[in-house]
Chains A and B, each alone.
Chain A
Amino acid sequence: MSKRHSIVPPISQAGPKPPVQFSSSITIADSAVLTGSNPIVIHSESVVHPRARLESLGGRITIGRRCVVHERSTVGAVGTEGRVTENGVTLGDYVTVEVAASIEAGDTVIGDGTTVGVGAKVGRGAVVGKHCTLTPHTVVAAGEVIPDFTVIYSNGMRRMDKRGVVELKNKGQARQIEVLRRMIPSNPSKFQ
């Protein structure tokens, strides 16, 4: 495996270690951060990049099949309210959470095939539909419900995605995961 070491100091595992439920086929980097008291469930073939944060303090985190959670993103961030709900964050299948994106906990749902763009923020309790695109630095307000196939721009503009390339996108995601599995050394046992 790669001998390259990051110059950034390792993130100390702060907080309680959450109970996890991993599929055998997932890829999770050694330096990913999983904290919280509620269970974290990751379904088959999903990839969690190094330094991604999964926080289950505000409720259970479920990540669907073939999802990619990128570096420095936070899934299940406890917002200002700090409310605990049963389902903190639920990501559907084929969801991509881009670099430095943040998804607050509190019954938040991200639908299948949705891409949460770089640095985007999804508020607590928002329900993002299937196959949506949140462009970089988009902010989705707490509790908002977004219909399927919506493209949200960072200036607040919205548009329906009428390409109909769901299958193609899923295929692309599958191929990307193929590559990522080879690139990212997986160590699920560290979290179990």
Chain B
Amino acid sequence: MAPLTPYTFIQCPCSDPSTLASSRPADASSPTSISGQERDDDDGRTFDPRAPRSNYSLYPLEYLLYCEDCHQIRCPRCVSEEIVTYYCPNCLFEVPSSNLKSEGNRCTRSCFQCPICIGPLGVTSLEKPADANLLAAPDNAASPPSGPYILICSYCNWSSTEIGIQFDKPNSIHAQLAKMRNGGVTRLTAKERKEKRREAAAQSGTGVPPTAAPTTTGGDGQDLDVEAQFANLKHFYQGQLADANAAGASSLSSLGDLGFASPNSLSRIMSIYTGGSLHDKKAKTRVGTMREALDSDEGFKLADLDESGAIEKLHEEGYDGTVSSEQLSNQPPNVGEVQLHGRSRFASELRPIPYLLRTKRSKRCPICRHIISKPEAKVQTTRFRIRLVAGSYIPSIAIRPLPGGGPPPDTLQPLRPAQFLLTFKNPIFETVKVTLASPATTPGRFASKVTVLCPQFEIDANTDVWDEALNKDGDKERRRRKGEDSGSGPAGGGQAEAGKIWERGRNWVSIVVEVVPASLRPPTISFGKKEDTGPLREDEDVLEIPMFVRVEWEVDAGGDEVGSVPSKDKDKEAKEKRELAYWCVLGLGRVSQG
């Protein structure tokens, strides 16, 4: 079994039902009241890390953000995101959102991925391999590249010649590709199609819909691709709807002509009083009379059920010539597909994939709407304008087994006490008071005993590293502090003692947690109560401790931000108490199954 590295997950308050009920924006401004309420609700209710809901609320510290105005942790689930820019990951070109609407979410420059292996494609010129004396004259190829260009994958040597596509120009490949089907057959773009239809309509003289007689364009009914078919169908049905509406509209508009005795106006008046049921029925019958598409101009297409061609091809090319479902799913939708029913099955029907655009997003606090993360809008820079990560506001917790008398690093022995060292590191510039609480036994089927030896302690401020190093007094003070607790420190015999800190540094404190892992045998006898005697489930052997962390610190009332310089005009003496409380889960290790 894979060894487990100890981990700490923090629960975002957004998924906590009690906070959901109590956290109104008004309360959010005063964190003390919120957590007071919270604690009342929380009495007798511990957080269960194994509950199915918990899966969605636990995050490593690095994933979490912190809202400075609500003084609350925010997770990726509860922040609201806004897209700052769209860009192509290949050419790093920013795409305006107006283009996005008209041209879709793929790069419309010359960025393509190989349809076979999704490697990036490059444009190269296709030279004529004409000269026979290759070994003799390698210099004659020094002329500038010209002639047809192809896309080529440098990873797997796929080239667009395999699907019969060559380009005349080395730039604006996307536009050229849009006009081409596999095999080099030209394909009408949407614009051209529209124009063509207009011409056809002008020729026939009659408006929409044209009569069912097959027109000159009936010939290419067979290679009607998905886009063309859709356009035709849409056009046809819009015409039909317009007809139906015209009929309906006439009944209303010609009210004056008909007078009150007409059945149309009667139905209209009736519909006013009966909630429209009569009218609706009539409308339905009218829609029912719409006829269906009859020829390819109207988007009608016979299903091609003759698959002998495909079978023949399969015989010829074998399994290697077919596409995998992964390749198919990477294909851009609808581009140049010949027919709806024969969705590409062969590698020769694949198309180069234009790169999907990516986004840079800013994140807002869901409650106060302040921005808590905002990347630089420029695509090339990876910096952030605003980034309030939780790691710089709440203490980080590192776990390691206590050296000496500790268990072997990979598994925990059941029913044998094991000690772990939790190191809390304070990232802010104020001294914080930490209070820990954990249930005496872990929730779940196998209840392990947990004892936090020092549940209340203070962590010094995150001062300048050099202050301490250069300041002799600080050093002395540190020693004093250490000496204060030296009875329990590593210097003092290496014995963990209840109520004492294990070790303390500039901005960190280590404490000891003792656990007695439960035996992993499912209970065989049930005492009246219905107990789960099923076998061990996945990861049920991991010892996870829920722990409630309460952090308290004082800030200058003037300073809006934590650790900011207090403004001059405010009373410097006024200190504001801040408090933050959250559940976290400590994963200590696997309990061995003996």
Contact = CB atoms under 8 A, between A and B. Distances in A.
Interface stretch (A30-38, A81-89, A101-109, A159-167): A159-167
Interface string A4-16: 0000000000000
Contacts of B156: 133, 135, 151, 153, 159
B320 interface: yes
Interface stretch (A51-59, A69-77, A171-179): A171-179
A161 B114 CA distance: 14
Contacts of B134: 167, 170-171, 174
From B134, B135, B138, B320, residue with most partner A Cβ within 10 Å: B138
A21 to B, nearest CB: 22
Contacts of A136: 155
Contact of B159 (A135, A153, A163): A163
B437 to A, nearest CB: 50
Given A151-B156, A174-B135, A159 B116 contact: yes
A163 B134 CA distance: 18
B320 to A, nearest CB: 6
A174 B324 CA distance: 36
A174 B136 CA distance: 10
Given A157-B324, A158-B320, A178-B138, A151 B157 contact: yes
Contacts of A157: 116-117, 324
A168 interface: yes
Interface string B107-136: 000000000110000000001010000110
Interface string B145-171: 000000000011111011000000000
Given A135-B155, A171-B141, A159 B135 contact: no
B379 interface: no
Contact of B347 (A159, A164, A174): A159
B157 A167 contact: no
A163 B157 contact: yes
A153 B157 CA distance: 11
B577 to A, nearest CB: 58
A163 B159 CA distance: 7
From B129, B141, B324, residue with most partner A Cβ within 10 Å: B129
Contacts of A175: 138, 141
A162 B129 contact: no
Contacts of B320: 158-160
A48 B294 CA distance: 70
A159 B155 contact: no
Given A159-B116, A159-B320, A160-B320, A171 B138 contact: yes
A179 to B, nearest CB: 11
Contacts of B324: 157
Contacts of B135: 174
A161 B157 CA distance: 7
Contacts of B129: 164-165, 167-168
A167 to B, nearest CB: 4
B138 A133 contact: no
Nearest to A136: B155
A152 to B, nearest CB: 9
A99 B102 CA distance: 46
Nearest to A165: B129
Nearest to B156: A151
A75 to B, nearest CB: 22
Contact of B162 (A158, A162, A174): A162
A79 to B, nearest CB: 27
A93 to B, nearest CB: 11
B36 to A, nearest CB: 57
Nearest to A171: B134
A59 B302 CA distance: 65
Contacts of A153: 117, 156
Contacts of A133: 156-157
Nearest to B160: A163
A175 B161 CA distance: 24
A165 B141 CA distance: 14
A96 to B, nearest CB: 12
A29 B320 CA distance: 41
B419 to A, nearest CB: 44
Nearest to A167: B129
Contacts of B157: 133, 151, 161, 163
Contacts of B117: 135, 153, 157
Contacts of A151: 156-158
Given A153-B156, A168-B127, A163 B138 contact: no
A181 to B, nearest CB: 12
Nearest to A115: B157
Contacts of B347: 159
A159 B138 contact: no
Interface in B155-192: 155-159, 161-162
Nearest to B142: A175
A121 B460 CA distance: 56
A43 to B, nearest CB: 13
Contacts of B155: 135-136
Contacts of A160: 320
A175 B116 CA distance: 29
Contacts of B138: 171, 174-175, 178
Contact of A159 (B127, B141, B158, B161): B158
A189 B558 CA distance: 81
A99 B272 CA distance: 82
Contacts of A171: 134, 138, 141
B52 to A, nearest CB: 34
Interface in A95-123: none
Contacts of A163: 157, 159, 161-162
Nearest to B327: A157
Nearest to B129: A167
Interface in A120-169: 133, 135-136, 151, 153, 157-165, 167-168
B154 to A, nearest CB: 10
A135 B138 CA distance: 27
A144 B157 CA distance: 22
A175 B141 CA distance: 10
A129 to B, nearest CB: 14
Given A167-B134, A174-B138, A175-B138, 7 more contacts: A158-B320, A159-B116, A162-B162, A163-B161, A164-B129, A167-B129, A175-B141
5 contacts: A159-B320, A171-B141, A174-B135, A175-B138, A178-B138
Interface of A: 133, 135-136, 151, 153, 157-165, 167-168, 170-171, 174-175, 178
Closest 9 CB pairs of A and B: A167-B129, A174-B138, A133-B157, A175-B138, A151-B156, A163-B159, A162-B162, A171-B134, A168-B129
